[in-house]
Structure 1
């Protein structure tokens, strides 16, 4: 956990979704959530909310938002950000033991914690807690990184550090465990990568119903210049339409940089 804390204390998360492939990740996450979130005003828990990127979007849409994150540097940024002043609460806390009462929210977003919980019991606890804090019939949405993500990333950026990166991506694909033992820049920190079917099974094990998976970046994960494609209006329209078309295709799910898994608590 120390290396994960050190990684996020470099304070890069606050602008990660404003450049490169992050632009597509953000646009596609909003695209999918807009179709799934209840109408405003709804109560949303942003669990592992980072520096408030998605909380801010929920506030803009008229929702009441509680944000929780495990990283002090993220909480400091959130509390200092005037665009997040309307948050109902801001909490430094653990996604595995939420400080919220049963059924508080209409929706729980778990947009990052699953990446950093290699123990399946911890992931199960996180999803169970999210489901507990959502009302009957409420939505739980959780992101995961597919196991092929490390392969796609290496292929896209080149194999210049093959002596180092090959073992990382092979371990990630075969076991789900992503390790960057030398903490090299350009590589991720300690993480867990899911097989898509594994994420679906974990959501069902948490008692969620009507579980569905959405590839966020999908084949756009392989674009050489994602910023160019999404900044031009004509290219963006074609890109977003294509990604919507294939977002539920199981044959393409694993090449996406991120998957959004969703399900509803009993009573929908």
Structure 2
């Protein structure tokens, strides 16, 4: 993992974002919803790049046996302290475990492994350790997320940000200066790209799902107001489900989740 990526996650921003409000909570809720469709009862789950266990925790509470593999020892220590969760230090490209697992999550590695061959290695490692018929779920950041986030937060007023976005739109490589509040070094996928990688790695693709859709472009205050009303949350989740696989609007989502199986 690149040094600037380690420094970014060492600050704990990402954990706070998903556990807090605004569009981070929207991503969390939708990830939880989609993942639960693919995880059977009492499954053995490998969470690759699982960080501090933000998803491993609720999966363990759901009754699953969860192992987190993460490149950062501090993350492994935190995740391993969660009830029902084990954790080890490791690399998505060369997993320190053999399986078999019912489900493998790749939430993080696919956007922080900026070289395509490294991402293919991560997909192939997931294929290696998942059981026949098992599921691999890979999350990516959409190609247009940095542009849309910049419009939402006025980052585009900064010439440097516009340069970062322009380069990312051309190449997929999001390379911000280290002295900014923007998201760290990452690869941003076109909507169909993660599925193409999964197929090339030897998996059978089930589908790609938009997580936040266009709803993440609402203000954090609006989203937080919705979270306070369970009925509004239900309406929001319903609306996002209606277009979660509509190819013409997949690019509006900040995050996409590709589901694939080992045949």
Same fold (TM over 0.5): yes
2:11 aligned with 1:10, yes or no? yes
The corresponding residue for 2:141 is 145
Q: Which of 196, 212, 218 is residue 213 of structure 2 equivalent to?
A: 218
Residues 11, 73 of structure 1: 8 Å contact kept: no
Task: Give the paired residue count.
Answer: 259
Gaps of 5+ in 1: none
Note the C-alpha offset of 1:211.
Answer: 2.9
Residues 44, 101 of structure 2: 8 Å contact kept: yes
Residues 47, 68 of structure 1: 8 Å contact kept: yes
1:232-264 deviation line (CA, Å, top 9, x unaligned): 223212111100001001111111110000100
The corresponding residue for 1:65 is 66
For residue 93 of structure 2, give the secondary structure of its aligned residue in structure 1.
coil
Residues 95, 129 of structure 1: 8 Å contact kept: yes
1:209-231 deviation line (CA, Å, top 9, x unaligned): 14310000001121113222233
The corresponding residue for 2:89 is 92
The corresponding residue for 2:52 is 51
The corresponding residue for 2:166 is 170
- Alignment partners' CA distance in 1, 2:187 and 2:50: 18
Residues 4, 178 of structure 2: 8 Å contact kept: no
Note the C-alpha offset of 1:153.
Answer: 0.2
1:93-123 deviation line (CA, Å, top 9, x unaligned): 101000111x410010111111111111100
- Alignment partners' CA distance in 1, 2:84 and 2:233: 31
The corresponding residue for 1:34 is 36
Residues 140, 262 of structure 1: 8 Å contact kept: yes
The corresponding residue for 1:265 is 262
Note the C-alpha offset of 1:6.
Answer: 0.9
The corresponding residue for 1:228 is 225
Query: Larger deviation: 26-35 or 221-230?
Result: 221-230
Residues 229, 235 of structure 1: 8 Å contact kept: yes
- Alignment partners' CA distance in 2, 1:145 and 1:13: 14
The corresponding residue for 1:255 is 252
The corresponding residue for 1:108 is 104
CA RMSD of aligned residues (A): 1.4
After TM superposition, the runs of 4+ consecutive aligned structure 1 residues lying more than 3 A away are none
2:211 aligned with 1:209, yes or no? no
2:24 aligned with 1:22, yes or no? yes
2:113 aligned with 1:117, yes or no? yes
Q: TM-score, normalised by structure 1?
A: 0.93
For residue 184 of structure 2, give the secondary structure of its aligned residue in structure 1.
coil
Residues 44, 63 of structure 1: 8 Å contact kept: yes
1:37-79 deviation line (CA, Å, top 9, x unaligned): 12x2110000000110111111111111111111222123223
Q: TM-score, normalised by structure 2?
A: 0.94
